[in-house]
Structure 1
Amino acid sequence: MTDAVRLESLYKTYDGGVTALDGVTAGFAAGTFTAVMGPSGSGKSTLLQCAAGLDRPTAGRVFLDGTELTATGDTAMTKFRRLRAGFIFQDYNLLPSLTVEQNVVLPLRLAGRRADRAGSRAVLEQLGLGDRMRDLPERLSGGQRQRVAVARALVTAPAVVFADEPTGALDLRSAGEVLTLLREVVHTHGRTVVMVTHDPVAAAYADSVLFLADGRLAGEMRAPTADAVAERLAHLGDRAMGAVA
């Protein structure tokens, strides 16, 4: 199985000497759903941003869909990212002045491609939003807005969908619906999903969980359950508190 995303000896140091990533090497296989977890400050969001080409590592290499992002210039990386990566964020990032359909096709327009209205409508129909295409985001519930964000992430047929706390602002029912959609994106449509989350219940929807602590890999769990993930996180949190003490 090939890796849709490959990280090799990734380091990220910020001004002031703070090390967010400390030599991380990891692969995310194509057609899999991986959750990335760890205590606060473990580097999980930084890992996602570097893997997605939203930020550059201080050192190391990032491969996305077989292309080395770290070997490309900023303009080329932006163009590649728009075509081969999809993004879902906690706060939806929908433009309030655009309709649901206009928000969904926005990545195509930004990439200089023709807006595939038939394709976008088909995606929205699959996500149960076929009758809301002309609505503005303010008319939707939180769960519906996040489903629009999922549709927008899928419209370019990306190799990888990166999700940063996608259910953090949702109630339990809406969160379950969005996580089920993400799992279907992987198992039905063959996409790859990499999701940062703090929620063990959300992580249990994934095929595997990658744990980080202090910017380093701290283990992996396959076929996770919410209880097992929570126990591992508690252990990592205790270890981090012990290091501070």
Structure 2
Amino acid sequence: MRRSRSTRNAPHPPPESGEALRLVEVRKVYGDEGTRVTALAGVSLSLPHGTFTAVMGPSGSGKSTLLHCAAGLEEPDAGRVFVDGHELGGRSETALTRFRRAHIGFVFQQFNLLPTLTVTQNTTLPLKLAGRPIDHAAARAVLERVGLGQRLDHLPGQLSGGERQRVAIARALVTRPGVVLADEPTGALDSHSAREVLELLQETVRGYGRTVVMVTHDPVAAAYADVVVFLADGQLAGRMASPTARAVAERLTHLGDAAQQGIGG
């Protein structure tokens, strides 16, 4: 059960109105005494609205933990998380679930589509779960924009991997969230499908005005983002604007070498 612990007394200013996502000294530790692993060691990060950010780092650097804390799927041991100016801490599990459904879209590597539901039904499922009215015309418009206007009644098993990930992105957009979080969204795709999905995530930012945060291990995928944020040993280890695949790969190599030598980021 989620703890209703609040960190509101911490002496940090509230997020500014232009911030879509803000983490303030977020710390997350797994394990017990003797097996303790620090996944996030006081990470602070601010991302403005309407941006596409890739999060990268060596294996075990804390990438997925950062994304899960930002989504409210895991609770930090310390620190504060704000989404669209609203703090996640101190909410009950029910209240947090309601907040996620209204403000956060999530795209998973393995799509997480229900095999017995059609493309349209999978897309509108978050609205149904939230008890919100389903605007079928709006859902169709989203699906047409992601290139699935001719697949509305198809089942996931009748779609390619790239098409299934497009359904997942449409599902993340249908509730009109401010922030879309994507965890290795191209990891299960071939290069052609991956490129289409990455272009669609760019369109999510530029066409829909959403904020996208994507965890990836692929420098080519990261090059589609506006900014890359690097993690090493649970700490921020730099950022890169206007990234190229080559520059990202070189930075990752240095971070990986440092991690193997035990000197962090």
Quick one: distance in 2 between partners of 1:221 and 1:128? 31
What is the CA-CA distance between 1:18 and the residue it aligns to? 1.1
Number of residue equivalences: 244
Q: Does 1:194 align with 2:197?
A: no
Please point out which of 111, 126, 132 is paired with 2:145: 126
**Structure 1 residue 57: Cα displacement:** 0.5
**Residue pairs, 1:69-84, within 5 angstroms:** 69-84=88-103
For structure 1, the 5+ residue unaligned runs are none
Distance in 2 (alpha carbons) for counterparts of 1:237 and 1:173: 28
Q: Which amino acid aligns with 2:153?
A: R
Question: Take 1:58 and 1:109, find their aligned partners in 2: how far apart are those partners?
Answer: 32
- Mapped to 2, the partners of 1:124 and 1:62 lie a distance apart of 31
Secondary structure of the structure 1 residue equivalent to 2:22: strand
1:1-245 aligned within 5 A: 2-16=18-32, 17-243=36-262
Q: Per-residue CA shift, 1:105-156, capped at 9, x if unaligned?
A: 0010111101111111011111111111111100000000000001000000
Deviations 1:73-113 (CA, angstroms, capped at 9, x unpaired): 22111100011100101100000010100000001011110
Alpha-carbon distance in structure 1 between the residues aligned to 2:102 and 2:178: 9
1:216: how far off?
A: 0.3
Separation (CA, whole Å) in 2 of partners of 1:40 and 1:221: 19
Report the TM-score, using the length of structure 1 for normalisation: 0.98
Q: State the 4+ residue runs in structure 1 displaced beyond 2 angstroms.
A: none
Deviations 1:186-216 (A, max 9, x none): 0122100000000000000000000000000
Q: CA deviation at 1:49?
A: 0.2
Moved more, 123-132 or 220-229: 123-132
The alignment yields a C-alpha RMSD, in angstroms, of 0.9
The answer for the alignment partner of 2:3 in structure 1 is none
CA distance in 1, matches of 2:120, 2:208: 21
Post-superposition CA distance 1:137-188 (Å, at most 9, x none): 0000000000000100000000000000000000111000000010011012
| C-alpha deviation, 1:71, in angstroms | 2.7
- TM (norm. structure 2) is 0.91
Structure with a larger share of its residues in helix: 1
Q: Provide the rounded CA distance (Å) in 1 between the counterparts of 2:205 and 2:151.
A: 25
Secondary structure of 2:76's aligned partner:
coil
Unaligned runs of 5+ in 2: 1-16
Question: Alignment partner of 2:261: what SS?
Answer: helix
